[in-house]
Amino acid sequence: MKEYLKHDEWSIIEEGFKPEYNRISESVFSIGNGHMGMRANFEEQYSGDSLQGSYLAGVYYPDKTRVGWWKNGYPEYFAKVINAPNWIGINIEIAGESLDLAHCEVLDFRRELNMKEGYLERSFTARLKSGKEVAVNAKRFVSLPAKDIGAIRYAIKPLNFSDSIEFTPYLDGDVHNEDSNYDEQFWDEISREIPTEDEGYLVSKTKKTGFVVCTGMKFSLTQGGRTVQLNPIPSEKKQYVSHTFTVDCKEGEETVLFKFGCNVTSRDYPEAELTDICKKLLNTYAEKGFGVLLHEQSRAWGMKWATSDIIIKGDVAAQQGIRFNIFQLNQTYTGEDERLNIGPKGFTGEKYGGVTYWDTEAYCLPFYLATHEPHVAKQLVVYRYKHLQKAIENAEKLGFKNGAALYPMVTINGEECHNEWEITFEEIHRNGAIAFAIFDYIRYTGDHEYMVEYGLEVLIAISRFWAQRVNFSEAKQQYVMLGVTGPNEYENNINNNWYTSTLACWTMKYTIESLGYVKSKNEDKYDDLIAKVNFNFEEETTKWLDILEKMYLGEDSKKGIFLQQDNFYDKELIPAAELPAEETPIHEHWSWDRILRSCYIKQADVLQGIYLFEDQFDKETIERNFDFYEPLTVHESSLSPCVHSILAASIGRREKAYEMYVRTSRLDLDDYNNDTDDGLHITSMAGTWMSVIKGFGGMRVQNGEAYFEPFVPGNWEALAFKVYFRGHLLSVMATKEKVAISNQSEEPIRLHLFGARHKIEPNGVVEVDAK
Ligand code: BGC
């Protein structure tokens, strides 16, 4: 754990240059706008330790799979959203000496990620070997309102000399991924162009996938607020264009280079027009100027915060932590493009390849449902609808038939990319999360039409999969599900994982209900769908009902505990608290063999199921299972504590809920797991958000109405949050004494607060005593 970042309510601040933490800071200070994003690499040359990373959403490369023993059904590749051409570079040379923080004395270094307005700022004083000192202030952002555009204001001031300074703004397409499986270069150059004295363009194409990207730059320079006429020397080589110019700089006077970047891709625009479009956009936005763009940026972020902010009073570290999580979630996904999804590391690193996991449905969807208009979350569910055909093909590869779908564990275009057999073939619970997301989306938004248009087709295909994945055990006279891996990846190839089987049954039941619903709402659509997917209602639903009736779900009925899997009780059950500190995290210290045989649970498994279907269990059942599983859970996935936190809150264990919350709320800011250098845990940030809203806020949705049971945990003085719910913006405010909910919309709403139903008029408030 590292605690080198300053606590502040709205900003992330690093003071003092710590090259040994540079990769961590590069992740933490990342910026993004849903379309593109980048690590906090320096603009000027840096020869110290750094992970260069600039990413364009959806622009990926199919990196050839590396495995020891090939198994049928494995994917050929792992899709990676790759490091894209670098547009931020500005090299600086002072009297023949490069400004490189690895080779000079760095004083007054400060980095700030301003989350309120959405920009990154870095300032420092550098004392070069020659003794010359310069003060630099660099501010940059990628624009939220203009998704293709980024802007930099790079100011430099000589402190103890007057001399000429050489500037080289450049574009560099010769970039690679550190995690490339075969050290391949992923980009080919198509063309490069330096059409004017202040512009440059690179057109690059990804190998194999053929995405074409035009990256452009345009710059200007001012001194004393006045634009300086430059005489740049253009330079170009393969995958690189630059302009170099020298400017006389006076001691104590600031010279400011404005550099605008633009990335347009063939995903969004016709390939043949990319350069023209890039030029047009770049010139339009450069014309507006840095100040105006920053103002628009700040306004756009203001609108994001207006519906997604959480206020915590009395604990600045917690306030900063939750805002950081919300900020990163909003930087990663905006819901404007149905082809995009949420990579577990967003735009902040290479790990997990920027591609889609079950994390989206299980953890992220609730955030976007509650903080944005419904179309944003809808894009996430439609994304899976669009991949249905691929999920059917994926299941076919594994031997399933008749339109059964197995969604991939990891994907960018619907095809499976994951190649560890115990996960690829066995961690099939992801299929259930995708079915559950349909339910969750409709439950929250009330958009029942979604079921008619998209949902049912997906549900049928997933139910078909479950019906074929189980088998009837003669010995048990019940259906069983063999050879699975639950969310707890510290056990593989187990039988009858309670979570997976429960989810499978729920999906079949929900599909049968939904068939009835669609038929009653729109018989024509229903008939069309039945014909389209060749659904044999009688035969298939009879089978599903039989499975529902005879499914084996492991349970210790005496103790009232659901069994994670058949042999869980055979394990030596020693609480995780007794693990010697030097042996944790166990995945770093134990052999895999030892982990697999141990009772230690990587992440919520049975409890994940209880969390999803909470309303089906009474408080005592939740308590018993919580008390059994929580002590055995090591939470070595950052997706775990949030689920425990929510359940703890729901059974009144407020301290436990808070303890679990604290484990992830500042996971990346304090580098708890020693892995922030790889990138941020974006999907776990959504889990942290859920702990506040569903845990401390006690928010649930049932029968079209919202329920709240808020409390203020720990040493916090007050908690306030906003949620969108069915066209209403609700503002929930809680102190240790009072709880108030206001309806900031034009229609009245009926909602439940501590079990009592209230009608709140437009702009009205209901206030009650805290509990
Ligand atoms: C977790 C998975 C998760 C993946 C990506 C793994 O460590 O066990 O549940 O999908 O990380 O976040």
Helix or strand (DSSP H, E) at 169? strand 163-172
The percent of residues in the chain predicted with pLDDT above 70, rounded, is 100
CA of residue 187 to ligand 1 center, whole Å: 29
pTM of the model: 0.97
Q: Specify the pLDDT at position 529.
A: 98
Q: What is the mean pLDDT of the chain?
A: 97
pLDDT tens, position by position, 444-461: 999 999 999 999 999 999
N-terminal to C-terminal alpha carbon distance within the chain: 35
On the question of pLDDT at 672 being above 90, the answer is: no
Torsion, Cα of 26, 28, 33, 35 (10° steps): 60
Q: Decide: 684 in ligand 1 pocket, CB within 6 A.
A: no
Mutate to test the pocket of ligand 1, among 351, 356, 359, 434 (most ligand atoms within 8 A of CB): 359
* pLDDT confidence band for 107 (50 / 70 / 90): very high
Using N-to-C axis directions, what is the helix angle for 523-532 and 456-469, rounded to 10°?
A: 40
Q: Is 369 in contact with 360 (CB distance < 8 Å)?
A: no
Encode 145-160 in three state secondary structure. Answer: CCCCEEEEEEEEEECC
CB atoms within 10 A of CB 225: 7
352 C-beta closer than 6 A to ligand 1: yes
What span, in angstroms and rounded, lies between the C-alpha atoms of 717 and 417? 46
Our answer on whether the CB atom of 358 is closer than 6 Å to any ligand 1 atom is yes
Burial string for 70-106 (b: 16+ CB within 10 Å, else e) reads eeebbbebbbbbbbbbbbbbbbbbbeeebbbbeebee
Instruction: Kindly state if the Cβ of 485 falls inside 6 Å of ligand 1.
Output: no
Strand order, beta sheet including 36-38: 31-32, 36-38, 54-64, 77-83
pLDDT band at 106 (very low <50, low <70, confident <90, very high): very high
Strand partners, 126: 106, 134
Q: What whole-number distance in Å separates Cα of residue 346 and Cα of residue 22?
A: 19
Neighbouring CB atoms inside 10 A of 639's CB total: 24
| Residue type (1 letter), 306 | A
pLDDT at 415: 97
Per-residue pLDDT of 253-312, as tens digits, reads 999 999 999 999 999 999 999 999 999 999 999 999 999 999 999 999 999 999 999 999
Among 8-17, 63-72, 512-521, 728-737, where is mean pLDDT lowest? 63-72
Residue among 99, 121, 90, 101 nearest 220 (CA): 90
List residues with catalytic annotation.
Answer: 489
Task: State the closest ligand 1 atom to the C-alpha of 359, by its place in the atom list counted from 1.
Answer: 10
CA geometry: angle at 541 spanning 537 and 547, to 5°?
160
Q: How confident is the model at residue 408 (pLDDT cuts 50, 70, 90)?
A: very high
Nearest Cα to Cα of residue 461 among 409, 401, 548: 401
Q: How far is the CA of 114 from the centre of ligand 1 (A)?
A: 29
CA 637 / ligand 1 centre spacing (Å): 6
User: Is the CB of 321 inside a 6 Å radius of any atom of ligand 1?
Assistant: no
Looking only at the bridges linking them, the beta strands covering 749-753 and 705-708 are parallel
Atom 8 (ligand 1) nearest CA:
637
Mean pLDDT score, 609-616: 97
**What is the per-residue pLDDT for 673?**
86
List C-alpha distances in Å: 676 to 42, 50, 254: 18, 13, 35
- Where residue 321 falls (left for φ over 0; alpha for ψ -120 to 50; beta otherwise) is alpha
Per-residue pLDDT, 176: 95
Q: Which residue has the tokens 């004393």?
A: 224
The predicted pLDDT at position 234 comes to: 98
Instruction: Give yes or no for a contact between 722 and 729, defined as CB atoms under 8 angstroms apart.
Output: yes
Sheet containing 163-172: give its strands across: 97-98, 90-94, 163-172, 240-249, 233-237
Mean pLDDT of 123-138: 98
Q: What is the pLDDT of residues 304-350, one digit of tens each?
A: 999 999 999 999 999 999 999 999 999 999 999 999 999 999 999 99
The answer, yes or no, to whether residue 2 has pLDDT greater than 90, is: no
Nearest Cα to 560, choosing from 623, 513, 505? Answer: 623
Q: What is the pLDDT of residue 68?
A: 87
One-letter amino acid for residue 380 of the chain: L
Strand partners, 64: 77
DSSP 222-264: EETTEEPP---EEEEETTEEEEEEEEEE-TT--EEEEEEEEEE
Residue 414, ligand 1, Cβ within 6 A: no
Contact 355, 79 (CB under 8 A): yes
Phi, psi of 543 (to 5 degrees): -65, -45
Residue 552's pLDDT is: 98
Distance CA 663, CA 641 (A): 7
Q: What is the pLDDT of residue 679?
A: 97
* Residues ≥6 apart with Cβ < 8 Å to 67: 74, 419
Nearest CA to 685 out of 353, 676, 80 is that of: 676
For helices 654-665 and 316-332, give the axis angle rounded to 10 degrees: 60
> What is the C-alpha separation between 563 and 480, in angstroms, rounded?
14
Pairing relation of β-strands 310-313 and 718-725?
Answer: antiparallel
3-state SS class at 134: strand
Q: What is the DSSP string of 356-397?
A: B-THIIIIIHHHHHHHS-HHHHHHHHHHHHHTHHHHHHHHHH
Q: What is the pLDDT of residues 373-402, one digit of tens each?
A: 999 999 999 999 999 999 999 999 999 999
Which residue's CA is the nearest one to ligand 1's atom 7? 637
Q: How far apart are CA 241 and CA 20, in angstroms?
A: 31
Structure tokens at 282: 């770049």
Is the separation of the CB atoms in 182 and 169 below 8 Å? Answer: no
Q: What is the mean pLDDT of residues 24-41?
A: 98
Token pair for 716: 């916090």
Residues contacting 52, CB < 8 A, separation 6+: 39, 41, 83, 86, 175
User: Token digits for 332?
Assistant: 């990663």
> Is the minimum distance from the CB of 363 to ligand 1 under 6 angstroms?
no
What per-residue confidence (pLDDT) applies to 1? 81
